[in-house]
Structure 1
Amino acid sequence: MSRVGGFGVETTTLVDVQTVTGPVPSDRLGYTLPHEHLINSIEEGGLEPDPDFPELFDAPVTPEIAWLLRDRPLACRDNCVLDGDDDAVNELVAFRELGGSTVVELTSDGQGRDPRRLAEISRRSGVNVVTGGGWYLERFHPEATGRDTVDDLAARLVAQYRSDPAETGVPRSGVIGEIGVSPGFTEREERSLRAACRLQRETGLPMFVHLPGFVRHGGRVLDVVLRDEGVDPTAVVLCHMDPSGSDPDYQRSLAERGVWLEFDMIGMPYRFSLPGEGQSPSPVETATAIARLVSAGFGRRLLFSHDLFLKSMLRKHGGNGLSYVPAVFLDRLTDLGVDAEVVHGVGTRNVRDLFEGAALTR
């Protein structure tokens, strides 16, 4: 039964959005989840056994350890890998049955990014998949980000994005990112971010920036992206706004600069114990923060998603999959008095505005 997609979008300037199976007109995207992972691995990013639960490191994800994974999600290598095509198809089909049409898959280079597999997954599921590119956090970077100039890194990205699928066999990306910024915001991450900015100005694609949600780096990041590199704010998505929902002044200061604020940890139950991280906020906390932003006039600059990236987030393991936002969370917002057209427009009209607005910055 369809839960989303019943609200129209305004007619503006149509653009073709590049999916892994070809271009799709922006008015045909339908209800979209803009920040997910279908094929993904973070096990090469320096994972270590938890000293209190070392047996978890090599354990498979099963219902018996689900309780522990909520508190130690990165202490289990199997939990940190999404490698099942059938699992991805099943999640996408469930999303489609709720009225969903498109998913933006933001697995970066160094994390198992595989557009060819995603193309087959998209065909099997009947859901559009848009893929990104660029570099995530420094621990996933290639040697080049520590050696090459920003201009060299930008040229490398432009060449990748401009490559001909007929020659390479690799579908083109339709967005940039997610580009990683860690709590330490390292020099290499800043170089990667600047290179992505130059790619954005060249291509006119939306750029997704992974913020460390539990610290307040948004202003510093926007100084680099908007002030230094000259990227138009209509093309910039700041990811992982959920943990800062209790800091309305911070969130408003970012929204006032014209960028997109993405709440993409919706329904996530985990406590992240790495330095600079913490407990994922509850759906009630996130809904309250979103309602506050809508009341302040920023409803047309919001995006919602799950950031599916761990195996325990799959529905077959008791997680929310790609279903929680369209099936449950949107109702929480209307229960708080947020207008239904605004709520459903976040996944339709706002996503379309993102792609069409970014294209005008080229």
Structure 2
Amino acid sequence: MASLSGNVQTVLGPVHPDQLGRTLTHEHLTMTFNCCYCPPPPDQSALSDGPILMENLYWLRQNPYSNKENLLLNQEVEAVKEELISFKASGGGFHIVAGAGFYVDATHTPETRAMSVEQLTQVLMDEVLRGADGTDIKCGIIGEIGCSWPLTDSEKKVLQATAEAQTQLGCPVNIHPGRNSDAPFQIVRILQEAGADVSKTVMSHLDRTIFDEKKLLEFAELGSYLEYDLFGTELLNYQFNTSVDMPSDNDRIIALRSLISHGYEDRIVISHDIHTKNRLVKYGGHGYSHILNNIVPKMLLRGISKESIDKILLENPKRWLTFK
């Protein structure tokens, strides 16, 4: 553990934080997302099992969780590799940090639900110190730790274990909050009660969670990193919560500018959270370089300084990812 202090743990081993470069703090390079499949209306059922085609791309962008093939990002190793090369060419860093832990309760096995906080803590620590899933590839963060709304008993135990593991390791944490504006507050309270370092914790998906500026600023006061990580996602109807009007990228930039104007530029991180095929360039999507190629120029155009952008993409991720 002493060798981790002051370093960032990548899948290839510890590196000095200054080696990172511009960093996206919430991406998936390979995964299956079958757990969140949403059946389409009966008159669109043929699109569910069909391939991804040019003529259904718009439907797919609006209903990304209703096509089964779209949920299998793990099939796109070469396409992702090509995009990472493009990301580096666009000015991004090229180190990969893996996440340890457990997603939302719907993905918990009976064995996971039966574990004590102490047992869950040991799993998390082993994935950081020894390697994940039977490999010698060590995780460099705990997360994204999945939370539902309302929070389940199993998820609460995982949060408590996360806090305990973080206390022992001094590692960064990333949280997926439930889809309710009160969820981030509840999660931070549980983490604090369990002894977590909230200043080393990222609260993900704020762009689909807290929309009221006053409430957002109230949450910002609690001290976590504030992650806007759905850049590139612009939906008419958000399948997981139809009461939410998903913001556009322009709306996200406005929210970032507000947080900066209120003094929180040292706590902001951004990303795309790519987790389905349709968001890859191969399928007409925005890809992993969207923020660098499109969002940064628009941020500059809207009066966000280069100094603030460097904090968001360079300094804040570097500080968050460094072990204490």
5+ residue gaps, structure 1? 1-13, 102-126
CA offset at residue 199 of structure 1?
A: 1.4
CA distance in 1, matches of 2:168, 2:128: 10
Determine if contact 1:145/1:192 at 8 Å carries over to the other structure: no
1:301-321 deviation line (CA, Å, top 9, x unaligned): 000100000100001111111
Work out whether 1:315 is the aligned partner of 2:306. no
1:114-171 deviation line (CA, Å, top 9, x unaligned): xxxxxxxxxxxxx211100101111111222321211221122222322269xx5431
The aligned residue for residue 265 of structure 1 is: 230
Matches of residues 214-229 of structure 1 in structure 2 within 5 Å?
214-226=180-192, 228-229=193-194
Q: Quick one: which amino acid aligns to residue 30 of structure 1?
A: G
CA distance in 1, matches of 2:298, 2:180: 23
The aligned residue for residue 111 of structure 2 is: 144
Does 318-327 or 337-346 show the bigger shift?
337-346
1:215-271 deviation line (CA, Å, top 9, x unaligned): 431111110011x11111211100001124631122111211111000000121233
Larger strand proportion of the pair: 1
CA distance in 1, matches of 2:281, 2:24: 16
The aligned residue for residue 113 of structure 1 is: none
Determine if contact 2:234/2:249 at 8 Å carries over to the other structure: no
CA offset at residue 45 of structure 1?
A: 4.2
CA offset at residue 299 of structure 1?
A: 0.3
The aligned residue for residue 172 of structure 2 is: 206
Q: Quick one: which amino acid aligns to residue 71 of structure 1?
A: Q
The aligned residue for residue 88 of structure 1 is: 80
Determine if contact 1:238/1:260 at 8 Å carries over to the other structure: yes
CA distance in 2, matches of 1:78, 1:51: 18
Q: 1:287 to 1:254 in 2, by over 3 A?
A: same
The aligned residue for residue 218 of structure 2 is: 253
CA offset at residue 279 of structure 1?
A: 3.9
CA-based RMSD of the aligned residues comes to: 2.1
The aligned residue for residue 122 of structure 2 is: 155
CA distance in 2, matches of 1:261, 1:36: 15
Q: Quick one: which amino acid aligns to residue 165 of structure 2?
A: L
Work out whether 1:332 is the aligned partner of 2:323. no
The aligned residue for residue 309 of structure 2 is: 343
Determine if contact 1:131/1:174 at 8 Å carries over to the other structure: yes
Matches of residues 1-362 of structure 1 in structure 2 within 5 Å?
15-45=6-36, 47-83=38-74, 84-101=76-93, 127-163=94-130, 169-226=135-192, 228-244=193-209, 246-270=211-235, 271-275=237-241, 278-356=244-322, 359-360=323-324
Q: Quick one: which amino acid aligns to residue 238 of structure 1?
A: M
The aligned residue for residue 121 of structure 1 is: none
Determine if contact 1:50/1:56 at 8 Å carries over to the other structure: no
1:47-103 deviation line (CA, Å, top 9, x unaligned): 4354341112211222211111122111111111102210110110111110101xx
CA distance in 1, matches of 2:83, 2:107: 26
Give the TM-score normalised by structure 2. 0.92
Determine if contact 1:176/1:196 at 8 Å carries over to the other structure: yes
CA offset at residue 337 of structure 1?
A: 1.4
SS in 1 for 2:34: coil
Determine if contact 1:57/1:75 at 8 Å carries over to the other structure: yes
Q: Quick one: which amino acid aligns to residue 315 of structure 1?
A: V
Does 301-310 or 63-72 show the bigger shift?
63-72
1:159-206 deviation line (CA, Å, top 9, x unaligned): 2322269xx543100111100012222121111221122111121111
5+ residue gaps, structure 2? none
CA distance in 1, matches of 2:95, 2:127: 21
Q: Quick one: which amino acid aligns to residue 124 of structure 2?
A: L
CA distance in 2, matches of 1:220, 1:60: 40
Task: Report the number of matched residues.
Answer: 319
Q: Quick one: which amino acid aligns to residue 29 of structure 1?
A: L
